[in-house]
Amino acid sequence: MSQDKVLWIDLQPTLHCLNQRVAQSLSRTFVVQRWSFQHDLDESCTVGTIHELLRQTLQASSEQYHLIGHGLSGTIAALFAEKYPTLVKSLTLISVDTLSANHWSSHYLGLRSQLPSSRQSILRHLSSSLFNTDSSRTADALSCLLAKCLDSEFIQGSIINNQYVDNLSLTVVPTFVLNGEHDFVIDINARDRWSKTLKSGDRYVCMKLGRHFFHFDQSQQVADLITAFLQMVPGSWIDREISSCDFTSFVRS
């Protein structure tokens, strides 16, 4: 029997180092591949352009893929699954809201346009909020990663122009959402918004104490949860009514 294939959607390659622990754990059970996208600095890029390139990739394969994406990459993957459901076996979203404007980069742009603080100080503040770390050196390194991503990779809009992206809605593709309990980007009301969007068979998990990049420091727990979900696709549970058991908190041991 061939292994199921996972395609990690990566629209911000600078930050892929934060995904690698989960991807490596998943590779013990699945064939894990990375779909990375990076446009030229002077090139205009739209969600439609990304979707077309991803469609070409998936249509060239004889099998459906489980798509995984964090943050903005997850949002774009979810919109793709809505548009091309026959090309997607399942959808796993990490730190994703149904409101497409809720991303770390959009929070940065909002702060940068409203506050007189320097870019460096804003990114330093953001890094301490996005990651669970008390190390000053680590916070500096993470703020440098965020700066590089802003300078050269796909984000939603700019300080003077916010690119509109559709909010997420119901898709026929089996969907698993993992959000952090202490993620200021994906606010506490995201759980209620997802409850109106997810269908029977889908699942939502709130990671205890998790911040926006919780999958980096809780990688094994995240990988275990994703593995359990993917192994149930398709499964008998997709025909039952959605229940409170699908909206759970995972307590880290």
Domain boundaries, the chain: 5-98+167-250, 104-152
Spatial separation of the C-alpha atoms in residues 198 and 171, rounded to whole Å: 8
Q: Which two tokens stand for residue 98?
A: 């149904």
Q: DSSP state, 245? A: G
Q: DSSP state, 196? A: T
Q: What is the dihedral of CA 233, 237, 243, 245, to 10 degrees?
A: -70
CATH code: domain 5-98+167-250 is: 3.40.50.1820
Q: pTM of the predicted model, to two decimals?
A: 0.87
- Written as tens digits, the pLDDT of the chain (253 aa) is 468 999 999 999 999 999 999 999 999 999 999 999 876 655 667 888 899 999 999 999 988 999 999 999 999 999 999 999 999 999 999 999 999 889 998 888 888 777 777 888 888 888 888 987 777 787 788 899 999 888 878 876 443 345 567 899 988 999 999 999 999 999 889 999 999 999 988 999 999 999 999 999 999 999 999 999 999 997 433 444 455 555 565 545 3
**Among 108, 109, 65, which Cα is nearest to 84's?**
65
23, 39, 91, 156 from 28: Cα distances, Å: 9, 31, 19, 34
